[in-house]
Amino acid sequence: MTPRDAPLRGHLPSSPVPGPTGASRLIRALALRSSRWGGWLWVLALLATACTAAVAPAGAPVLPEFVPLRWLPDIRSVLARDSVATRDVALAPADAVPLKGDTLTILVQELDAGKPRQWAVVLSLQDLKPKERLMRSPGFTMYLNTGYSARFGPAPPTAVLIHVFGPYSPKRGGASPKAIWSGALVNPEFLRLGLERTAALFSRISHDSGSDPRLKGLHFTLSVSSNPFPRDQVARDRAATAALEITDAESRAYAGFIPAMMAFFQIVNQTPGMRELLFKILDVPWWQLVAHGGNISNVSFELLPPFDRLPPSGWGLPPDMNVYSLGLRLSVYGKPTLLCKLALTQPRVPLFNSAGIVGLAVMRPDGKGPRLMIRVMAGSAAHPLS
């Protein structure tokens, strides 16, 4: 099996290794906390301990498809009344920095037994309170099994204000809609890293495997951890991946994949109703939660192909923006529990607010139960637009 048609397997140990450069420091860096904004996503913080990607021996599963989304009439009317944009992503210049007032409008749709429910989630950057301006996430280092290391320095938090409308259903008044405010403090370095560069890396490897004879039948492992790898493993894996010609920029992007993903899900966790939706889809037996005191640990994942380039116009973006798809398979206690497909692009303002994620489709591995689709529908920046 070649990199073109095989999934990339990852494993995330549930027990963090303590130490100044260990997982405990990485989790603290991910988990900025304030009484105004609530806690962090403790479940997914467990993912921060390590990440491994490798060619898996079995074929990739069928991922959920991106489907066209349209606002239901009732929710569109409510958003218009509140002057919330529902279409067009207006990008700031490529060198623009995030500022207060940068805003994204995201459509979240659950499809259960053929019946849709929709939420609108508005993410806007806000000012920090005086005490929050003094907060800093600790710096940490991520290590690749090829010998590369990426240092992420201390950073002040960014405040994201969250406004949720919904749920709404096609039957007027049938979903008891509400408007709820929340917020999150996140590490801006992780949002700025984005996720599309990791997708671009594996898209390149997949493409090269079909044209470069050196990669024919190549089996390799790419691992990233918050602790250094043994020297003998680094020497072995560096030799195995030499033909891939991975650049330092690509290595740093891959080292930042987990922190960037965690920053996005940290916002999801603080979004009223979204955490409950994910747990509704997550196929974890209740008795396993009881047996583990209600905690989810022993979490693993695989990066799944195809790592395709998508047409930017399909996501309301200009042609100079690169959009990639990337699949994830999440397992809990050794059992596959969730399949995800992401649409990723550069985290250019205002897409900084979502770490460059413009689409997300979620379902259970068996195809049963509800399906979730998330899509960026509108965005504006607090800058003169290009």
Find the helix or strand (DSSP H, E) in which 112 lies: strand 103-112
Q: Which of 35-44, 128-137, 143-152, 328-337 has the lowest mean pLDDT?
A: 35-44
At residue 346, what is the residue type? Q
Give backbone dihedrals phi and psi of 36, rounded to 5 degrees, phi first.
-70, -35
- Quote the pTM value: 0.84
Determine the Cα–Cα distance for residues 153 and 194; give it in Å rounded to an integer.
Answer: 16
Show Cβ contacts of residue 276 under 8 Å, excluding neighbours closer than 6 positions.
Answer: none
Q: What is the mean pLDDT of residues 24-47?
A: 40
pLDDT for 217-244, tens place per residue? 777 778 878 789 999 999 999 998 898 9
Shortest CA distance to 270 belongs to which of 33, 3, 38, 94? 38
Res 45: pLDDT: 38
DSSP 128-170: PPHHHHT--BPPEEEEETTS-EEEE--B--EEEEEEEEEEE-S
Give backbone dihedrals phi and psi of 375, rounded to 5 degrees, phi first.
-145, 135
For the cut 60, the answer to whether the pLDDT of residue 52 exceeds it is no
The mean pLDDT value of the chain amounts to 80
- Residue 288: pLDDT band (50, 70, 90) is low
pLDDT for 169-215, tens place per residue? 987 655 577 889 999 998 898 898 878 999 999 899 888 877 888 77
Determine the Cα–Cα distance for residues 194 and 45; give it in Å rounded to an integer.
Answer: 17
Give backbone dihedrals phi and psi of 158, rounded to 5 degrees, phi first.
-115, 135
Which contacts of 148-155 are long-range, i.e. CB under 8 A and separated by 24 or more positions?
Answer: 148/248, 148/251, 148/252, 148/255, 149/228, 149/255, 150/251, 150/252, 150/255, 150/256, 152/29, 152/189, 152/256, 152/259, 153/189, 155/187, 155/188, 155/189
For the cut 80, the answer to whether the pLDDT of residue 37 exceeds it is no
> What is the 8-class DSSP label of residue 349?
T
Helix-helix angle 274-281:257-269, to 10 degrees: 110
Q: Tokens for 14, please give them.
A: 């549930």
Show Cβ contacts of residue 22 under 8 Å, excluding neighbours closer than 6 positions.
Answer: 16, 226, 227
Res 107: pLDDT: 97
Determine the Cα–Cα distance for residues 267 and 126; give it in Å rounded to an integer.
Answer: 14
Determine the Cα–Cα distance for residues 309 and 322; give it in Å rounded to an integer.
Answer: 7
Q: How far is CA 7 from the centre of its chain?
A: 18
Find the helix or strand (DSSP H, E) in which 111 lies: strand 103-112
